Amino acid sequence: MENVKVWILVIFVASSVLSVESVGLKDLKACNFRAVYNFGDSNSDTGGGSAAFWIAGLPPGETFFGRPVGRASDGRLIVDFIAEHLGLPYLSPYLDSIGTSFRHGANFAIGGSTIRPQNESMSLNGVSPFSLDVQIVQFDNFKVRTGYFYERGKAGHCHNLPRPKDFSKALYIFDIGQNDVAAGLRKKNDTDFHASVPDIVDQLAKAVQDLYEHGARTFWIHNTGPIGCLPVSLHYHDIRPEELDEQGCLKAQNAYCMEFNKKLKDRVTKLRAELPHAALTYVDIYAAKYELIGNAKKEGFVDAADICCGFHEDEIQVYCGHKQNINGTEIYAGSCENPSDYISWDGVHYSEAANHWVAQRIINGSFSDPPLPIRHACHKL
């Protein structure tokens, strides 16, 4: 059986390579993306959550920016490396009113966001009220108001705004869904989760359709990573050996992710038929991150279950950057000496080094369907 699985993987990879070669990648012009619009959660939040809910503080941001910038990492996120690769500035959060420029796009991602609105709260369990439908409304409002200033020639308002003609030439990224899966795990009701997945992916599809109707044409859609491999999942549970897979990840939690990802990929395939002028790329973030976790030492990282920032000892858990009084002693949960040695920044989010590793693999199309590099994502295979 294992040999059969290997051959299936070989055939899939080979067919992907052939499909690119048959088009002739060297004959495809690079897409001239004038802007990037991102919708997501904390994996791609570049400061929106901080603008909305809390004051950003160190140690997050210490490696690259040298100051708090509202990212859940020591430095750059995958979306930052995508912007760099496309020759564009880092995306300003839509909700950030200080020093923002939206000339080359905007980031609507907010930490804790879900695709489907949850009957929960940020204060209760970290669920953001800025679910995907709200983020899409924000974008629609942003686009309308941008057009208003350009139509009336209000030049003083336009230098930091995207040109109306650039919306159809932008790249639209979706990096959301992990918190929907996490909510299913938290509620511990398999039946309800299985029943909810089709609606969750349909709501993401509805968001894509809304953007398409407003002129968007190129979509880059991430699936969700392996939640069962997150150190926070492994540190907060009493785990039996049989619950773990060969990489030391929780099989049951990853099964939820894989179910969501399969349904999402199927829905993206349907969208290609429903939106004839759109180019939709499905990006297998799960496979990229799982490969990194499985080869942590080989790729120069410490054990994938190790956490850089935070205090996690003797069943005491203090979140990254926080303080807690334990038996009369104040504990500050600071960061490790060399964050670039770690895959996990804070137990939930990835370090800049790990984000860079993943970004390099997805930017070149290695984990994409169709297998086109991001610079060619506007083309349909």
* Torsional class of 310: left (φ above 0), alpha (ψ -120 to 50), beta (otherwise): left
For 92, residues 6+ apart whose C-beta sits below 8 A from its C-beta are 46, 47, 99, 100, 101, 102, 106, 107
User: Residue 51 is which amino acid?
Assistant: A
Catalytic hit among 42, 92, 131, 335:
42
CB 292 within 8 Å of CB 358: yes
42 is catalytic: yes
Distance set, CA 18 to CA 115, 272, 360, 369, 373 (Å): 34, 20, 21, 13, 14
Closest listed residue to residue 235, CA positions, set 93, 116, 154, 344: 344
User: Residue 245 is which amino acid?
Assistant: D
Catalytic hit among 45, 180, 346, 369:
346
Alpha-carbon distance 172 to 216, whole Å? 7
Residue with tokens 């040298």: 66
CB 272 within 8 Å of CB 280: yes
DSSP 307: B
DSSP 376: G
Closest listed residue to residue 272, CA positions, set 181, 146, 381: 381
Alpha-carbon distance 43 to 286, whole Å? 13
Burial tier of 337 (Cβ tally within 10 Å: 0-12, 13-18, 19+) = exposed
CB 355 within 8 Å of CB 78: yes
346 is catalytic: yes
Catalytic hit among 92, 104, 344, 349:
349
Cis amide bond preceding 89, omega within 30: no
Alpha-carbon distance 263 to 198, whole Å? 7
349 is catalytic: yes
Give the catalytic positions in this structure.
42, 346, 349
